[in-house]
A and B are shown apart, each in its own frame.
Chain A
Amino acid sequence: MVWNDIEKMDREQLNELQLRRLQETVRWVWDKVPPYRQRMEAEGIGPQDIKSLEDLALLPMTTKDDLRDNYPFGLFAVGPEEIVRVHASSGTTGKPTVVGYTQEDIQNWAEVMARTLVCGGATKNDVVQIAYGYGLFTGGLGVHYGAERLGATVIPTSAGHTRRQIMLMQDLKTTVLACTPSYALYLAETMGELGISSRDLSLRLGFLGAEPWSDAMRKQIEAALGIDAIDIYGLSEIMGPGVASECLAKDGLHVFEDHFIAEVVDPVTGKPVEDGLQGELVFTTITKKGLPMIRYRTRDITILNREPCSCGRTHARIRKVLGRTDDMLIIRGVNIFPSQIEEALLAMGHTEPHYVLVVDRERGLDELEVWVELTREAFIDEVRRIEELERQIKRGIEETLGIGVQVRLVEPKTIARSEGKAKRIIDRREIK
């Protein structure tokens, strides 16, 4: 099923539509957003230079720092009288990033989020429990508006209160769960403790996003909750949830290209890479009026695929996000993503995908220690067999990463569970 036939639009027509909207957007920021205009002038280009979609690469890129430097409203294209909503992302250092939406932007957001839900198989008959945080975070309200646009029944539980979430899922016969993948796993674990199985629930779909997660983790969530787990993608700077979504083919996430143009670039040089090659995802909004974004660097690592999909959609797909350039750990010169370690652990069994990476520097050398929870099932009452298990995990991770690591098995449920985005890395190198 497709929410809007534009998702199946002929590729050439779609390109024409993108170019027209891109030209309008560039003209819009040139006229309305002084920092964009100054940077374009510095590069010696203007709106008239955008003659084809390839000319997008002429435009300067935008980063999170640009949003911080122009905090709070410096990159907004309209005044407060036109803005109907703001959201803000948590700033781990200093000020948050503030984003704003016009009435029309909010309408478009609901549209792309409704497409997301239909793309993953939801209908207006579904009961959607939204356990993303409501508030400054775009997750809760973003999915909410889309689910209402679809006409589904919305249960706006927000994040947390896990036992209450489970009670409501049972009592209100929730069919669709929307939350982060790590919270979905935590819900499943808590259900286990309460003696509740997926058969006691009516769940059939999960729309999970806001953090990178592996296919192995997907299988585990799907088995534990009895659902199809759909990966959804979004970021507040571009819109929020609804920028891209998997269909039931689960083979990449369709970018809603009549609203957003995706590029993949080399994270170091910023030069576009060929389709099919890994790089940093960059988005340009082409319908947004309040806070248009030109070539915004997401820091997410993915691969772009413009092949038509078995679901009938023509919109390009991005590979499930493999990691973030800023989550990327560089250990002894090797790039490492937490998701690789998660894959390795899940492939071996024996342990829960609850892990923490502790990076330290000893005598000038980076050391990576992986703390992994030992499951009760895998525990054997023999020191040498546990040591053998540790060695086996160590080998599995080392084969995946290509560098040496230390593994420490820890007791079940001792690694902090998160209700939002999981914290996987403790980097002690900076504080020394």
Chain B
Amino acid sequence: MKVKQLSIFLENKSGRLAALSRALAEQNINIRALSLADTADFGILRLIVDDPEKGYAFLKKEGFAVRLTDVLAVRVPDRPGGLAEILDAIHQRGLNVEYMYAFVEKAGDDALVIVRIDDPDNAIGILQEMGVGLLTGDEVYAL
């Protein structure tokens, strides 16, 4: 149930993000979702793409500091409190959410959120017990 995310180290300087998006476009790699965490000096770009292995190999060849990170694609009921219930459950079981960001597109009636949890395998069990929907990698890449 794990989804492969590309994580890329970027310096905070103008044009880096544009250069990277252009490079991916030229390889015909489609970005499905993204998030940028940044500090004064550097940023970490997180991307869900339609073909993560290809994207990883390409960015590695281009010399980027890139790695593949396991994340979960969680269906969150689209109502007040939907996200809180899920996060509470994860927190109560002693797991930590390192970061999360939302997909623009929805999965049916549910909102779709990408979550990085320090112990993804354990988290999958917890979420499935709760009846929370998870998307497989292939489902996410094909969205």
Q: Which of A380, A411, A413 is most buried by chain B, counting CB atoms within 10 A of its CB? A: A411
Q: How far is the CA of A328 from the CA of B118 in the complex (A)?
A: 46
Nearest-neighbor residue (CB-CB) of A382 within chain B:
B98
Inter-chain contact A379/B37, CB cutoff 8 Å: no
Inter-chain contact B64/A411, CB cutoff 8 Å: yes
> In the assembled complex, which residues on chain B have CB atoms less than 8 Å from the CB atom of A387?
39
Question: How many whole Å from B53's CB to the nearest CB in chain A?
Answer: 16
Residue A409 contacts which of B41, B46, B66, B116 (CB distance < 8 angstroms)?
A: B41
Question: How many whole Å from A413's CB to the nearest CB in chain B?
Answer: 4
**Could you say which of B5-13, B82-90, B133-141 contacts chain A?**
B5-13
Nearest-neighbor residue (CB-CB) of A408 within chain B:
B41
Q: Given known contacts A381-B69, A386-B9, is B60 in contact with A376 (CB within 8 Å)?
A: yes
A-B pairs with beta carbons under 8 Å apart, 6 shown: A375-B65, A376-B65, A381-B116, A382-B44, A411-B11, A411-B65
The verdict on B63 contacting chain A, using a C-beta distance below 8 Å, is: yes
Inter-chain contact A383/B39, CB cutoff 8 Å: yes
Interface residue tally for chain B (C-beta within 8 Å): 20
Annotate B1-20 by CB proximity to A: 1 below 8 A, 0 otherwise: 00000010111000010000
- Measured CB to CB, the residues of B under 8 A from A are 7, 9-11, 16, 37, 39, 41-42, 44, 46, 60, 63-67, 69, 98, 116
> In the assembled complex, which residues on chain B have CB atoms less than 8 Å from the CB atom of A382?
44, 98
The verdict on A50 contacting chain B, using a C-beta distance below 8 Å, is: no
> In the assembled complex, which residues on chain A have CB atoms less than 8 Å from the CB atom of B46?
381
Annotate A349-364 by CB proximity to B: 1 below 8 A, 0 otherwise: 0000000000000000
Question: How many whole Å from B72's CB to the nearest CB in chain A?
Answer: 14
The verdict on A135 contacting chain B, using a C-beta distance below 8 Å, is: no
Question: How many whole Å from A406's CB to the nearest CB in chain B?
Answer: 9
Q: How far is the CA of A381 from the CA of B16 in the complex (A)?
A: 18
The verdict on A34 contacting chain B, using a C-beta distance below 8 Å, is: no
Inter-chain contact A379/B98, CB cutoff 8 Å: no
> In the assembled complex, which residues on chain A have CB atoms less than 8 Å from the CB atom of B9?
374, 379, 386, 409, 411
Q: Which of B9, B41, B42 is most buried by chain A, counting CB atoms within 10 A of its CB? A: B9
Q: How far is the CA of A380 from the CA of B65 in the complex (A)?
A: 9
The verdict on A412 contacting chain B, using a C-beta distance below 8 Å, is: yes
Nearest-neighbor residue (CB-CB) of B12 within chain A:
A408
Annotate A375-404 by CB proximity to B: 1 below 8 A, 0 otherwise: 110111111001100100000000000000
Q: Given known contacts A381-B46, A382-B98, is B41 in contact with A412 (CB within 8 Å)?
A: no
Question: How many whole Å from A393's CB to the nearest CB in chain B?
Answer: 13
